[in-house]
Amino acid sequence: MLMAPSRLVSTALVVALGLPVTAVAADPVATLDAPVRAPQPLLHGHRYAFVAGGVLAVGGLGLGFFAQGEAKRAQSLSSAREARSTLDRARSASTAANLMYAAAGAAVLYGLVLELLPDEAADTASLTYHF
């Protein structure tokens, strides 16, 4: 923010830069009487559902890649016991990834429903706790 030492310099800056001219109040209290809006938070209560959906989807992707790696590793093992335990780990990771995908879809769907509802209905249907 530019700070001008005098009114003449600030007027010259406004004219030179093409900034909109604002009225200079003689009384500084008059400028304080204007209502000030509180800054809106980036994420409202029901928009956390989208963040949760994204986190669950990323977790599902990680488990899916782990399951694929374990399945490929099981093909290269010579011991049947080790291959079976590796495939069991791959199946478990794959099941967990599928559950995380389903939970991510449910969270995003929940967020979309709350986003499309009117504010009063969304606040009553929201799962966030209000202090």
Task: Please write the tens of the pLDDT for every residue from 81-116.
Answer: 999 999 999 999 999 999 999 999 999 998 888 888
Looking at every residue in the chain, the average pLDDT score rounds to: 79
Say if residue 70's pLDDT is above 60.
yes
User: For the whole model, what pTM was predicted?
Assistant: 0.61
Say if residue 65's pLDDT is above 90.
yes
Domain residues for the domain of 103 are 45-125
Ranges of H-type helices in the chain: 7-17, 28-32, 48-76, 80-116, 119-125
Say if residue 68's pLDDT is above 90.
yes
Whole-number pLDDT of residue 110: 87
User: Does 74 map to a domain?
Assistant: yes
- Residue position matching structure tokens 């604002």: 22
> What is the count of structural domains for the chain?
1
User: Does 56 map to a domain?
Assistant: yes
User: Does 8 map to a domain?
Assistant: no
User: Does 95 map to a domain?
Assistant: yes
User: Does 97 map to a domain?
Assistant: yes
Of 13 and 103, which is predicted with more confidence?
103
User: Does 77 map to a domain?
Assistant: yes
User: Does 50 map to a domain?
Assistant: yes
Query: What is the band of 61 on the pLDDT scale with cuts at 50, 70, 90?
Result: very high
Q: What is the mean pLDDT of residues 32-39?
A: 66
